[in-house]
Structure 1
Amino acid sequence: MKHPVIKTVLPGPLASERIEADKRYVSPSYTRIYPLVVEKGQGLWVEDIDGNVFLDFTAGIAVCSTGHCHPQVVQAIKDQVGRLLHMSGTDFYYTPQIALAEKLSTVVPGDGEKKAFFGNSGAEAIEAAFKLARWHTRRELNIAFFGAFHGRTMGALSLTASKTIQKKHYNPFVPGITHVPYAYCYRCSYGAKYPGCNIECVRWIEDTLFKTVIPPEEVAAIFIEPIQGEGGYIVPPPEFHKELYRVAHKYGILYIADEVQSGMGRTGKMFAMEHFGVTPDIIAVAKGIASGLPLGAMIARSDIMDWEAGSHASTFGGNPVSCQAALATIQLLEKELMTNAAIQGERLMAGLRALQNSLECIGDVRGKGLMVGAEFVKSRDTKERAGEWRNAIVRRAFEKGLLLLGCGENTIRFCPALTASADEIDMCLAIFEEVVREVTG
């Protein structure tokens, strides 16, 4: 059984050199949570350039769904690299893109024919959905949610309402977007308490917003994350999506699910929306779809994807190497990894909830599968956010060989590769508990 191995002061001498070069030559707009210079990885383990070994519970921000360098994915990539690197799926045809579109049409929920548009990232998938919604409905207004993160390109950023730094100095944004509160039951924006709230966050949209501010017949789409990612790994109550979907379809509004972080098996099902019994009109995916290669996809019913040739395209979208990696990834998800995500996710949640019982600073534990968040507070009674503790825990965990990331203002996310074993879950929990006790006293 592997364990973290920290050989040097962090960052080590070689890492320090690379970091200094990065400061000279790389855009300062990137966020660097801690000074990790990765050299190689296998499964849930990564090694930095100085030989320090870390247990990775970030999976490249939920991207490396099959773990680092899964041999089946690597082989699929090698086989394709020797045949064709690029010919532009925008202007020509090639088999990997067609095969992946066909596969996605079978794994995406819903009856009837579906079609896929390919880009390079989650932001591009959202941009495509944004444009298709306008094209198909001929409507200009859209609804998104506070806490949402949909990407950093201008259309996706206009839908985003995560952090002000992401929008600073970029106004004006795409007009016609209204943000509303998400179903964050731990911190309800309406002061209600589930389950007696009658899902007020949805009722308010129909009873107040649609009667006073936005004509619903002019709304093209509702953009929503089934489980909010960057907003804090927030899991809404079971009825939320069904009620919101009902309202959307009552007024002919498209229901667009951003599954960029929550999709591709992460929650124990191929798509997180399956937990809520709702079939979106359009789904955007990326991150875990190709185990680390750049790929995004927007999948819609064929009757919705009715735009004309030339109305939208992407030179590199649907690259054959990325498509082959995605096909290998989906095969692994269906064969074993979705099931493993559900099993190990339950183990992780149980362990975190046991810690919650003994640690006052953990206010809430929530998640599905291996998409799990632990929210830190100064007091259970006041729910005062403990962002400083959260940041210190993430940094201290790194120093002990455990890689974690934050989300929201005061939540730590656990999103390891879906190959995680019971031993690796237990090791993470042990290091995490040690770190939390050290930081919070």
Structure 2
Amino acid sequence: LISLYDIVCPLHGFHKWMSFLSFFQSTLVNRPALGILPPENFPDKLTESLLSMSPSGMTRVQTMACGSCSNENAFKAMFIWYRNKERGHNTPSEEDLSSCMVNQAPGCPDLSILSFMGAFHGRTMGCLATTHSKAIHKLDVPSFDWPIAPFPRLQYPLEEFSRENAQEEARCLEEVEDLIVKWRQKGKPVAGIVIEPIQAEGGDNHASPDFFKSLRNIARKHGCAFHVDEVQTGGGATGKMWAHEHWGMDDPADIVSFSKKLLTGGYYHRDELQADKPYRIFNTWMGDPSKNLILAEVLNVIRRENLLEEVTRSGKALLNGLYDLQAQYPGMLSRARGQGTFCAIDICDDATRNSILLKARDKGVLLGGCGDRSIRFRPSLVFKEYHVHIFLNIFNEVLAQHK
């Protein structure tokens, strides 16, 4: 079995876990309620795990259990920060306190978060309002009147469409600014912008570093927090620990959320987005400290085995192989794209895509779909170049059945 769908597994089948198990067992005896009574050594364990891989400019992290609750609480942090900024202090009035109890302003202000078409940020209420990838995720659930901007639809090969893609990104950025102004005029100011470095569930949609740099500047210009959702992309699959590192920015975000390959959920944030009072960002468990122990060992393996360099090499081989297959099957395959092993390719239609997924599975290869007609490739970090060639041979056999 060859799995190229290890979205949540950084080191699938890694052979050195046994030495870790005896140390890990004692942690499983009791799961502490981190929101109330965290273990005495919890700060040290955070330093060894999550804080050892902090994104640029961030020294604070808030643990959570999953991607949805990570983003949901990150949204709350942005709203709290925005209201304190409006007040000029962090002390709510009596009217704030009384009105929020009946879901009314000013205690429950009519603020908004700007998101992008094709985005996926989770399935809780706030996250669903910013999710626009599949209708079934949102059907029958009430939502908020929040702005939705277009995400660039790039043409491939990139080098042949540089002018058209630059125009497309400029169009989307202009729409972002227009929406921020429009929602402010509606009395629903945008407190934050949330975006994925690569829209995964929405179809593995990419944008250029210049697009994200400009978007960051727009957020600053209009006083919005900038939230980079790395739930799908964080953890090394792009060849860097954080996909936003490819943008080449010293100050890429105000909040960076994570989960999946990082084994625990949560978000990093700048100092000014720290909750100002107890219980504002809170739940009983606030994550699971055992996952931080596992993550610390995963990070040791990544560094010791130079796995990010391995991902870069394997990713180059994978993408080049997809380019070759795309040239071999031009009526079936298009838009091969990726960073590291975080790759995808479009199929001519949804039915053919689904048939390819099933036939690949029958041959022992696990793949996943995304968007309307894309196949996404998500191997673990120990996926090597020889694994790439084994996969490409099998994939070619499957494609040949659909000519």
Q: Find runs of 4+ consecutive structure 1 residues off by over 6 angstroms.
A: none
Distance verdict in 2 for CA 1:219–1:72, change over 3 Å: farther
Q: 8 Å contact 2:55–2:268 — kept in the other structure?
A: no
Post-superposition CA distance 1:369-422 (Å, at most 9, x none): 111001112xxxxxxxx1111111001100111100001110000000010011
- Kindly state the Cα deviation for residue 135 of structure 1 after the two structures are TM-superposed: 0.9
Q: 8 Å contact 2:45–2:292 — kept in the other structure?
A: yes
* Alignment partner, residue 422 of structure 1: 385
- Kindly state the Cα deviation for residue 201 of structure 1 after the two structures are TM-superposed: 0.9
Distance verdict in 2 for CA 1:196–1:91, change over 3 Å: closer
Task: Establish whether residue 114 from structure 1 lines up as the match of residue 59 from structure 2.
Answer: yes
**Distance (Å, rounded) in 2 between the aligned partners of 1:87 and 1:266:** 31
**Distance (Å, rounded) in 1 between the aligned partners of 2:363 and 2:41:** 42
TM-score (norm 2): 0.85
Paired AA for residue 158 in structure 1: A
Distance verdict in 2 for CA 1:73–1:226, change over 3 Å: farther
Distance verdict in 2 for CA 1:368–1:210, change over 3 Å: same
RMSD: 2.1
Paired AA for residue 53 in structure 2: V
Post-superposition CA distance 1:326-374 (Å, at most 9, x none): 1112222333221111111111001001111111111101110111001
* Alignment partner, residue 400 of structure 1: 363
**Distance (Å, rounded) in 2 between the aligned partners of 1:375 and 1:238:** 22
Count of matched residue pairs: 364
Post-superposition CA distance 1:293-328 (Å, at most 9, x none): xx2011101221133111122323332211101111
* Alignment partner, residue 313 of structure 1: 282
3-state SS, counterpart of residue 185 of structure 1: coil
- Kindly state the Cα deviation for residue 252 of structure 1 after the two structures are TM-superposed: 1.2
The gaps in structure 1 that reach 5 residues or longer are 1-53, 378-385
Paired AA for residue 146 in structure 2: I
**Distance (Å, rounded) in 2 between the aligned partners of 1:233 and 1:89:** 35
Paired AA for residue 93 in structure 1: P
3-state SS, counterpart of residue 401 of structure 2: helix
3-state SS, counterpart of residue 207 of structure 2: coil
* Alignment partner, residue 46 of structure 1: none
For 1:329, which of 294, 298, 316 is the aligned residue? Answer: 298
Q: 8 Å contact 1:121–1:287 — kept in the other structure?
A: yes
Q: 8 Å contact 1:132–1:307 — kept in the other structure?
A: no
* Alignment partner, residue 18 of structure 1: none
Q: 8 Å contact 1:149–1:229 — kept in the other structure?
A: yes
Q: 8 Å contact 1:77–1:324 — kept in the other structure?
A: no
Instruction: Please list, as runs of the form range in 1=range in 2, the aligned pairs for 1:4-403 lying within 5 A after superposition.
Output: 54-59=1-6, 62-68=7-13, 70-73=14-17, 75-83=19-27, 84-94=29-39, 97-102=42-47, 103-111=49-57, 114-138=59-83, 140-170=111-141, 172-173=142-143, 175-186=144-155, 193-197=164-168, 199-206=170-177, 208-215=178-185, 218-278=189-249, 279-290=252-263, 295-335=264-304, 336-360=306-330, 361-377=332-348, 386-403=349-366
**Distance (Å, rounded) in 2 between the aligned partners of 1:147 and 1:370:** 21
Distance verdict in 2 for CA 1:198–1:387, change over 3 Å: closer
Q: 8 Å contact 2:71–2:122 — kept in the other structure?
A: yes
* Alignment partner, residue 12 of structure 1: none
Structure number with the bigger relative contact order (C-alpha 8 A, sep ≥ 6) is 2
**Distance (Å, rounded) in 2 between the aligned partners of 1:337 and 1:407:** 26
Percent identity among equivalent residues?
Answer: 28
Paired AA for residue 261 in structure 1: Q
Distance verdict in 2 for CA 1:132–1:78, change over 3 Å: farther
**Distance (Å, rounded) in 1 between the aligned partners of 2:287 and 2:240:** 24
Distance verdict in 2 for CA 1:126–1:198, change over 3 Å: closer
**Distance (Å, rounded) in 1 between the aligned partners of 2:359 and 2:375:** 13
Q: 8 Å contact 2:112–2:189 — kept in the other structure?
A: yes
Distance verdict in 2 for CA 1:67–1:435, change over 3 Å: same
- Kindly state the Cα deviation for residue 211 of structure 1 after the two structures are TM-superposed: 4.0
Deviates more, 1:427-436 or 1:175-184: 175-184
**Which of the two has greater helix per residue?**
2
Distance verdict in 2 for CA 1:259–1:362, change over 3 Å: same
